[in-house]
């Protein structure tokens, strides 16, 4: 049986980098704390705890006592939180994804030049909360096309538009158009990271070539559910599993080719276990 595993399965670059940085820190010194859970995956969190990496509440009171080793997760934090964290005498490791860091820089520079910062995204998402905190003036967050239709801002100011990294590209383009048509002077930065799109594109491609497609992901992971839905439409024999233990291929008479993909919070070792079980 041929096993095809998606290259983009599992952690994206930014999350892998943050988890590796946390592990590395824990080798030097424990305990290490992450400012909010580094990832929404029970297995990974439990595994990290065994290595001395614990999650603290993502709020300033958590680090006020000082003298802690703290990792800023890939979503990033506001400028104020980053500065306070260090000023309280904590040792801070910034694992903000470089793609998010780039948005922080754009927002800081353009707000300093007097432009109105507009963020396309979900206002309550930690990444957006962090981005807002790098602007020196108040930002406007726009969630969807409907809000873009109702958008109003100071017409004297140039708008600097950025997007949450996971924002859908088509929606970004449509919303830029809606706001442009209102006559504003715009500089729009496509700050979308293509990790999610690439994972979905590759999963669809593999699903079209295999007899059975396996999608590994957490019970409550929405991006894994989306992957499952995409694959199922192309390959009816698509199975959702959380770990290698859930795998049961006994219902299939013969399988020549099997495909594997995994949601963004699935660690590599689970993907490997499933791969090995398939090969056996």
To ligand F3S, the closest distance from the beta carbon of 126 in angstroms equals: 11
Listed residue (193, 216, 195, 213) closest to 204, CA to CA: 213
Residue nearest to ligand F3S (CB): 14
CB atoms under 10 Å from CB of 126, counted, come to: 17
Per CB under 6 A, the list member of 85, 97, 142, 214 interacting with ligand F3S is 97
Is the distance from CB of 231 to CB of 208 less than 8 angstroms?
Answer: no
Cβ atoms 164, 121 nearer than 8 A: yes
Is the CB of 55 or the CB of 74 nearer to ligand F3S? 74
Q: Give the whole-angstrom CA distance, residue 277 versus residue 2.
A: 12
Q: Does 92 bind ligand F3S (CB under 6 A)?
A: no
Distance CA 231, CA 213 (A): 7
Q: Is 167 helix (H, G, I), strand (E, B) or coil?
A: coil
Residue 195 found at the interface with ligand F3S (CB under 6 A)? yes
The answer to whether 181 and 148 are in contact (CB under 8 A) is no
Q: Which stretch binds ligand F3S (CB under 6 A): 7-15, 62-70, 143-151, 153-161?
A: 7-15
The binder of ligand F3S chosen from 21, 82, 85, 100 (CB under 6 A): 100
Q: Which of 9, 15, 210, 244 binds ligand F3S (CB under 6 A)?
A: 15
Q: Is 205 a catalytic residue?
A: no
Q: Does 14 bind ligand F3S (CB under 6 A)?
A: yes
Of 99, 134, 167, 184, which one interacts with ligand F3S (CB under 6 A)?
99
Asked if 165 is part of the footprint of ligand F3S (rule: CB under 6 A), the reply reads yes
CB atoms within 10 A of CB 246: 12
- Compare residues 15 and 32 and give the one whose CB is closer to ligand F3S: 15
Query: Backbone phi, then psi, for 4, in 5-degree steps?
Result: -110, 115
User: What residues line the site for ligand F3S (CB under 6 A)?
Assistant: 12-15, 74, 97, 99-100, 165, 193, 195
Residues marked active site are found at 127
């Amino acid at each position: 049986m041929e096993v095809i595993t998606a290259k983009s399965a599992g952690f994206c670059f930014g999350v892998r980098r943050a988890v590796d940085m946390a592990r590395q820190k824990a080798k030097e010194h424990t305990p290490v704390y992450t400012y909010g859970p580094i990832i929404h995956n029970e297995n990974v969190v439990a595994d990290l705890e065994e290595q001395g990496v614990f999650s603290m509440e993502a709020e300033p009171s958590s680090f006020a006592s000082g003298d802690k080793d703290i990792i800023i997760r890939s979503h990033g934090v506001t400028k104020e939180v980053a500065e306070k964290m260090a000023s309280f005498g904590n040792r801070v490791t910034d694992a903000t994804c470089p793609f998010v860091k780039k948005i922080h820089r754009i927002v800081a520079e353009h707000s300093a030049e007097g432009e109105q910062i507009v963020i396309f995204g979900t206002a309550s998402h930690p990444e957006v909360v962090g981005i807002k905190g790098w602007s020196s003036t108040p930002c406007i967050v726009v969630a969807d096309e409907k809000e873009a239709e109702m958008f109003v801002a100071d017409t004297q100011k140039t708008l600097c538009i950025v997007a949450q990294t996971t924002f859908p590209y088509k929606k970004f383009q449509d919303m830029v158009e809606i706001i442009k048509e209102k006559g504003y002077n715009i500089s729009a930065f496509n700050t979308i990271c293509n990790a999610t799109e690439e994972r979905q594109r590759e999963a669809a491609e593999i699903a079209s070539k295999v007899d059975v497609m396996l999608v590994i992901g957490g019970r409550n992971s929405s991006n894994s559910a989306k992957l499952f839905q995409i694959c199922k439409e192309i390959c009816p024999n698509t199975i959702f599993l959380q770990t290698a233990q859930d795998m049961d291929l006994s219902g299939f008479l013969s399988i020549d080719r099997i495909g594997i993909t995994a949601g963004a919070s699935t660690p590599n070792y689970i993907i490997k276990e499933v791969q090995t079980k398939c090969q056996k």
